[in-house]
Homo-oligomer: A and B are copies of this chain.
Amino acid sequence: MQLRIPGPTPLPEEVLQAMARQMVNHRGPEFAEMIRESTAILKEMFQTKGDVLILTGSGTGGMEAAVVNSLSPGDKVLSVANGVFGERFADIAETFGAEVSRLGFEWGQAVDPDAVRAALSQDTTIKAVLVTHNETSTGVTNDMASIGATIREFDKLLVVDAISGLGAIDLPIDAWGCDIVVTGSQKGWMAPPGLAMVSVGERGWEAHAQAKMPRFYWDLARAKKYLDDRGQTPWTPGLTTIYGLHAGLKLLQQEGFGNIIARHARVGAKAREGVKSLGLSLFADEKHASNTVTAVKVPDGVDVKKLRGVLRDEFDTVLAGGQQSLEGKIFRIGHLGFVTEADMDAVIGALKAALPKAGFKG
């Protein structure tokens, strides 16, 4: 099956087989070796000298961890959002008592760093900025180099949801001033869902020391202590998923970081060209198109539910729909993790055949 949603992604056979491994003691030497090795590879991929912590939970759990470990109730936070996941980040901060000021951008458009600068100039009481690196709901990659530089001018804490971008799109988090960064195992990592990976740099730990939002399960200082002291996690980890992540990371390491980024760039371009070649339109501003997910406008006369059904039932191809206000208006092709240009050829071929069956006259 061509499972081409923006995560979970198909997994290589090596990863699937790794997950049929019998349980080991999560407080024993085999696990310590596995988590230390996985963390070391993650640090390379995050391009950070800071800490990377593997938490058992989904990406949203990682976002919650990022918030509650860096903020206090009443803190002023600037949320910079251009889609569902940006809004979710703001909702989490609000839930835990932050005073959130929302700087929104049209969905499908990228965040404008100048607007971020203006917002930070206007309100000097802002303490932290929440930004989405790669907006999975719209297929837009924000310009984190410029956004990071802008936020550094004002010396604010930068907390980044890079769940669907990191590992597949170049994001040198230390160089670009990203203080706390979240990703999820089912995105670029050739692993199943169930783990969130969160990096914390020096400024992130300084914020942690001041942060008073309640945290227990997601306490990153405790996770760091267990990892550093014992090669363990504070709470029993999702072992099978860690087996899968470890196997996926080894494959990524073999492929090499530059090759992975280049592969996603090629596959992303192929997806966009393919979609346009069918007479369909991209939803996202193409200057900021994501290399991990492509959102496509549903053309007039096409019933997207029917289209996705035909693709699934007759062409063994699973694509994602639109979320929230974009439901029925777009569909999305995921192309991240274990994906090649040939996979995109297959998806575009399936789309070409399925579209007329769903009312497409183009």
| Interface of A toward B, CB cutoff 8 Å | 1, 3, 5, 7-11, 16-17, 19-28, 56-61, 64, 91-92, 95-97, 184, 186, 192-195, 213-217, 234-241, 244, 312, 318, 320
Contacts and interface: CB of A to CB of B under 8 A. Distances in A.
Given A17-B20, A23-B192, A95-B216, A7 B236 contact: yes
A194 B318 contact: no
A21 to B, nearest CB: 7
Contact of A26 (B8, B23, B184, B236): B8
Contacts of A312: 28
B17 A193 contact: no
A192 B20 contact: no
B238 A194 contact: yes
Contact of A216 (B92, B192, B214): B92
A25 B7 contact: no
Contacts of A96: 214, 216
A48 to B, nearest CB: 24
B56 A194 contact: yes
A25 B10 contact: no
Nearest to A28: B318
Contacts of A235: 58-61
Nearest to A240: B192
Given A23-B192, A56-B57, A60-B216, 15 more contacts: A1-B24, A3-B25, A25-B318, A26-B193, A56-B61, A56-B238, A57-B57, A58-B237, A59-B236, A60-B234, A64-B216, A193-B238, A193-B239, A194-B241, A240-B241
A213 B241 CA distance: 30
Contact of A58 (B56, B91, B214, B215): B56
Contacts of A23: 3, 8-11, 186, 192
A342 B17 CA distance: 29
